[in-house]
Amino acid sequence: MISSSPTRRRCDEIRDKVESGRRLSADDGLLLYSPEVHLNDLGALANLVRERKHGNLAFYNINTHLNPTNVCVYRCIFCAFRSDLRDEKGYRMSDEQILARGQEAVDAGCTEMHIVGGLHHKMEYDWYLGLIRLLHHAFPSLHLKAWTGVEINWFEHITGKSVRTILEEMIEAGLGSLPGGGAEIFHPEVRNKICEHKADAESWLEIHRTAHQLGLKTNCTMLYGHVENAWHRIDHLLRLRSLQDETGGFQTFIPLAFHPANTKLAHIKKASSLMDLRTMAVSRLMLDNVPHVKAYWIMLGVGTAQVALSYGADDIDGTVRHELIYHDAGAQTPEILSVEQIRRLIVEAGREPVERDTLYRRVVREGGRWSVGEKVGAGVQVS
Ligand code: SF4
């Protein structure tokens, strides 16, 4: 696994742990980030875990994004999407525009709408809640995966309501699950530099804990490749693993590669594909209790996402339409892939494509209609 002898024994120990299904420690994770550990060897170990959980399957869905506003009270220095209230690029969608997006999604066969956006200075909680109600009422078959922990935290702030009450109201309106955004890097040494005012780690984790207690599935993320170091990444993964031990409510972990263009961190060089693959593999190995690890092709690029399917990832996200957040930050990927394209890139990577819904049930399509079948992919077995 390594070229130099001083750490060879430690690497052998790690391999033994993974092969026998034992949990890796923080020190193990740090070592795996060391360049002394060959990337291909690391990838093979992560692939072992992926294969144990999911065999040869790789998942995708047919989805769309909705960013109802880009106006945001916060100024996270990694964000190229936000706008000030009076900026020319600032927008807020009307109900008609939102409904038109819902119709477009349903007509395109989407099973999921991913909804996140800015924290608008002037829009009240009822606008955000009403948006969920509006979409769910008009398009009940569309799963609404909406509002990051940061947005839920903002709703707490502007209403004085508890997280539990907010989530209960959102569920009653039609919320289906929470996306994993807003986690960035939990450690305060980093968080205070890149997004000091928004929800801290404890708040983000508490929101997801409450969501899990209410029966919602959620995702989790980590934004890497900016001012953090390996220790901050491992600390982040361990905090997620710890909550997952408690609740089992995370479905998918998505490592998000930072795109520096058009941000206040534009001087930083984007993480290399090698770093992307290393982070994918380390994440798969450390998060032994999270069922899925996603290679988000929008951020990684299609080629790296394909390779990532052999470095621990079992999911490649969806066809995606109307993605703004990472394209505003310079992502060069297409704005949409067709179903044929996404299936082909999975097959080219040597995997068997499976269309899933948001809750990882197999989607069956017949004659222009779709329904969901059995749950696919492994559960939460520790490996
Ligand atoms: S990352 Fe989210 S919270 Fe931060 S500035 Fe951008 S839109 Fe606002």
Res 21: pLDDT: 95
Between the CA of 198 and the centroid of ligand 1 the distance, in Å, is 8
Structure confidence at residue 382 as a pLDDT band (50, 70, 90): very low
Token representation of residue 99? 């409904």
Q: Between 72 and 383, where is the model more confident?
A: 72
Concatenating the DSSP letter of every residue in 119-141 gives --SS--HHHHHHHHHHHHHH-TT
User: What letter represents residue 233's amino acid?
Assistant: R
Q: Is the pLDDT of residue 3 over 60?
A: no
Res 123: pLDDT: 96
Neighbours of 171 (CB within 10 A): 16
**CB distance 125 to ligand 1 below 6 Å:** no
Tell the residue nearest (CA) to atom 7 of ligand 1.
118
Q: Between 232 and 318, where is the model more confident?
A: 232
pLDDT in tens, 102-126: 999 999 999 999 999 999 999 999 9
Q: Between 5 and 255, where is the model more confident?
A: 255
Mean pLDDT in residue range 187-203: 96
pLDDT in tens, 358-376: 999 999 999 888 999 888 8
Mean pLDDT in residue range 157-184: 98
Share of the chain above pLDDT 90, in %: 86
Q: Out of 75, 77, 81, give the residue to mutate to test ligand 1, the one with the largest number of ligand atoms within 8 Å of its CB.
A: 81
Neighbours of 375 (CB within 10 A): 13
Res 1: pLDDT: 60
Token representation of residue 22? 């034992």
The residues, any chain, with a CB within 8 Å of residue 228's CB and separated by 6 or more, are 185, 187, 190
Mean pLDDT in residue range 25-45: 96
**CB distance 199 to ligand 1 below 6 Å:** no
Res 377: pLDDT: 67
Which helix H or strand E contains 113, and what residues bound it? strand 112-115
Res 307: pLDDT: 97
Res 96: pLDDT: 98
Which atom of ligand 1 is nearest to 119's Cα? 8
Q: Is the pLDDT of residue 379 over 70?
A: no
- How far CA 331 is from CA of 17, 60, 81, 323, 361, in Å, comes to 37, 20, 12, 10, 30
Mean pLDDT in residue range 73-91: 94
Q: What is the average pLDDT value for the chain, to the nearest integer? A: 93
Q: Is the pLDDT of residue 2 over 60?
A: no
Q: Is the pLDDT of residue 134 over 80?
A: yes
**CB distance 198 to ligand 1 below 6 Å:** yes
Mean pLDDT in residue range 259-277: 93
**CB distance 191 to ligand 1 below 6 Å:** no
pLDDT in tens, 303-312: 999 999 999 9
Res 381: pLDDT: 40
Res 4: pLDDT: 57
- Phi/psi at 29 (5° precision): -60, -40
